[in-house]
Structure formats: C-alpha cells, structure tokens
C-alpha cells in the first residue's frame, strides 16, 4: 500500500487531519484500531463549544466551528451537526470575565439575567438557592452532535471522497525510517503483518499516545464519566448548558437523551482503564451516590421529569501544561502528532488539524504555545534520528 500520508486514529483529531489533507489533494490512509469514534470522541458529550476560559482556546474553537460549518456543506452533514449554541450559568463576575474573552476572540454572545433566561427557555430553573448575582451568557454558534454517529458518518463521507480506511491496530513501535533515502523521508509502518509505506505519518492516537514511548509527548490520561438521562417529551427543546455554579454540564446530544456530569475525573495508567459502561449501579454505593448527586443538580436546573439510564466512561489525554501538542515529532523529519485535546477537543481539533496540515505542506508556523518541542529538555540525548 503506498499513500502520501498515513493518519493513525479516527477520532476527531485523525478525521480532521484526514479531511484537511484530502482538501489539499493529498492521498490519505487512516488506520484505526476499532472503529471511527471508538476513543474519547464517540464517548464525549458532543458539544463543540466556544465557551472556554482562555482566548487562544476560544479562537481555535471559533475557527474549528467555522470549519465544521464548511463540512456540513461539503459533506452534507446537516443531520449530524446542529448549531444549537450553549448557555452558561455563572456568577456575574465570571460572566464579565468570559464576555471580555469572547470580545477579544471576536465571538458573538448575549448576557442575560436569570429572569430573561427563564422567559426564553421555560424549562430552565435559576432561582433555587442561587443568591442574587446569577447571570447567563449564551453563545449561539456552538455545535451539538451525537458524537459516535457523527464520527461514523463523517468517516463514511471521507471514504466516499477517496480517503482509505484500514481497521487495524498500527504497530507504532515498528516504524522504520528508510535509510536508503538517507534523509529519513520515507517510512514504513507494520499493520496487519504487512508494511504500509508513506512519506508522512501523523499520530492522532489520543489517550493511547501514552503507550508510545520516545515521542516527547508526556501524555497523562484521565477517566471521565458521562450520565445518560431520558427526559419526558425528549430533550430537543433543551439548549445545551453548563452550570458553573454547581460545576455541571448537560447536553442533548443523543436522540431524546440529555447527557452530562460534573467535572470529576480519575487519573488512570492506560486508555483501556478509562473505558466502560454501567447500566445497573445498585451494587456500587459510590457510583449510586455520585449519580444521585448529579441527578439532584440537574433537577435543580430543569422543570422536567428525568430518568437516568446508564453511565459510561471515556479517556481524555492531557499534557503537563494542559495545551494541545501539535507538530513534528522531534528527531523525525516526517512523523507528526496532534494530541492533548483534554476535555474540549471537538471544536478545537479541526482548527489544529488545519494548522498542522498548513505546517506540513506549506511550512506555516505552529503557534508557539502548542509546539511539539516544548517538553524537550535541551540536554535530551534521545534525539538520535536527526532532523
């Protein structure tokens, strides 16, 4: 098999990179161990949001959402990517700070008091024990999706456009750089007991990156819970919202269901330790009381009957400074990485993928804070491959 670019991983990062390469006329093959969306992407709550508290992240999310809007048109994804916006409930002081960040990033927003918000969304409750200084900030361009469905359909559309997909675990440790070319510009990767030849390899392996040594990407893994609630009359009328006073978020991202949690995470050793699903938690007192606690916080915000149906867990990958890592793997001329998307990858991944592809094809700079060499100590002796 000979292609220009091999992308490993079909989460939001890998699919975004494949699309960005396809868009530039490059022949791409995506290698995915299980199926598109198998990792964090398909297990996420499904909100590609602008509401982050850092201006670089908000700028990336804005660009990512613009790219998603283009995907809707280019790949007919109107049914799977819905522009819903996101409502954030918070104290006035934090709302003022966030409004400043949105203004700096050129993002449109509306600030409203509790009464205005409840008039607009009659299912919303904002009075119980909040005190007097609760406000809301609404951004209208946030995109909501059933993330597993999106990943599957987007992968199918890319396949229809000529991207090759191989379902197999790539043996990253088997990468061989072609010595004959003398400039390590050609490499082979062992997949399914055969060699895949490519000029460029891009690793988008999310939490699985932790198992790949020597990449200069110190990735840690957190296990993140998500509770599924069935809502009387369905969840379609509910606008995705985050409740920063109670530190929870709830997203209508699966048909008729509202999914959400608080920001609880657990540190784990490997990606597999962060995967799982529980349908009956009666025998687990800790999980039962956690679900009861989240249910109580949700009921303090909505005037609807709810019934929790399951909880699942997924992995997120995080770098020591919490920023994504994007660029060439130090020591290799033609191996690149896009990772460390943390708990907010959906909106930022398309923007980071476009940034990476412009870096690879046109030599454009990667924004300094995101660069792939920032975790290397100057005396590191592992830089043996040159480049």
Ligand X SMILES: Cc1cc2nc3c(=O)[nH]c(=O)nc-3n(C[C@H](O)[C@H](O)[C@H](O)COP(=O)(O)OP(=O)(O)OC[C@H]3O[C@@H](n4cnc5c(N)ncnc54)[C@H](O)[C@@H]3O)c2cc1C
Q: Name which of residues 31 to 50 contact ligand X (CB under 6 A).
A: 31-34, 38-41, 43-48
Q: Any idea how long the chain is?
A: 387
Nearer to ligand X, 44 or 184 (CB): 44
Using CA of residue 74, residue 240, residue 135, residue 232, what is the dihedral sign? positive
224 interacts with ligand X by CB under 6 A: yes
Size of the site for ligand X (CB under 6 A): 43
String of DSSP letters for 100-143: HHHHHTT---EEEEHHHHHHHSTTB---TT--S-EEEEEES--E
Residue from 6, 7, 10, 68 touching ligand X (CB under 6 A): that is 10
Q: Considering the complex, what minimum distance in angstroms separates the CB of residue 238 from ligand X? A: 15
In angstroms, how far is CA 2 from the centroid of its own chain?
29
Residue from 3, 7, 14, 370 touching ligand X (CB under 6 A): that is 14
Nearer to ligand X, 31 or 298 (CB): 31
State the binding string over 301-340 for ligand X (x if CB under 6 A, else -): -------------xxx----------------------x-
Q: Considering the complex, what minimum distance in angstroms separates the CB of residue 204 from ligand X? A: 5
Q: How far apart are CA 152 and CA 168, in angstroms?
A: 16
Q: How far apart are CA 248 and CA 204, in angstroms?
A: 28
Q: Considering the complex, what minimum distance in angstroms separates the CB of residue 363 from ligand X? A: 24
Nearer to ligand X, 117 or 219 (CB): 219
Angle formed at CA 98 by CA 322 and CA 225, multiple of 5 degrees: 50
Q: How far apart are CA 379 and CA 253, in angstroms?
A: 47
Residue from 341, 353, 355, 360 touching ligand X (CB under 6 A): that is 341
Outline where the chain has alpha helix (H): 12-23, 40-43, 55-75, 92-104, 114-120, 147-160, 285-299, 348-362
114 in Cβ contact with 126 (< 8 Å):
yes
239 interacts with ligand X by CB under 6 A: no
Interface residue list for ligand X (CB under 6 A): 8-14, 31-34, 38-41, 43-48, 169-170, 172, 204-208, 224, 226, 251, 314-316, 339, 341-347
């Amino acid at each position: 098999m000979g292609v220009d670019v091999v992308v490993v991983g079909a989460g939001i990062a890998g699919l975004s990179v494949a699309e960005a390469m396809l868009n530039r006329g490059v022949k791409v093959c995506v290698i995915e161990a299980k199926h598109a969306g198998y990792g964090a992407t398909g297990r996420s709550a499904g909100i590609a949001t602008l509401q982050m508290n850092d201006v670089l992240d908000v700028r990336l999310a804005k660009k990512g959402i613009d790219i998603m809007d283009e995907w809707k048109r280019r790949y007919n994804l109107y049914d799977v990517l819905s522009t819903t916006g996101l409502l954030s409930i918070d104290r006035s002081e934090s709302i003022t700070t966030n409004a400043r960040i949105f203004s700096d990033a050129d993002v449109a927003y509306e600030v409203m008091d509790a009464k205005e918000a409840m008039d607009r969304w009659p299912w919303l409750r904002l009075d119980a024990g909040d005190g007097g200084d609760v406000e809301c900030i609404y951004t209208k361009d946030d995109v909501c999706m059933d993330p597993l469905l999106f990943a599957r359909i987007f992968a199918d559309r890319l396949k229809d456009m000529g991207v090759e997909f191989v379902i197999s675990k790539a043996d990253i440790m088997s990468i061989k750089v072609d010595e004959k070319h003398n400039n390590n510009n050609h490499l082979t990767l062992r997949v399914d007991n055969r060699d895949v030849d490519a000029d460029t390899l891009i690793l988008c392996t999310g939490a699985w990156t932790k198992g790949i040594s020597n990449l200069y990407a110190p990735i840690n893994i957190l296990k993140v819970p998500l509770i599924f609630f069935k809502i009387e009359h369905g969840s379609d009328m509910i606008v995705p919202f985050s409740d920063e006073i109670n530190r929870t978020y709830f997203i209508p991202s699966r048909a008729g269901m509202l999914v959400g949690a608080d920001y609880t995470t657990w540190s784990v050793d490997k990606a597999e330790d962060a995967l799982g699903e529980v349908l009956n938690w009666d025998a687990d007192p800790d999980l039962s009381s956690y679900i009861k606690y989240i249910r109580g916080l949700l009921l303090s915000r909505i005037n609807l009957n709810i019934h929790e149906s399951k909880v699942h867990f997924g992995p997120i990958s995080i770098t020591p400074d919490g920023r994504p890592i994007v660029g060439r793997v130090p020591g290799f001329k033609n191996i690149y990485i896009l990772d460390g998307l943390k708990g907010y990858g959906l909106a930022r991944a398309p923007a980071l993928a476009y940034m990476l592809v412009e870096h690879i094809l046109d030599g454009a700079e990667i924004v300094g804070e995101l660069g792939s060499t920032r975790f290397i100590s100057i005396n590191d002796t592992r830089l043996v491959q040159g480049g």
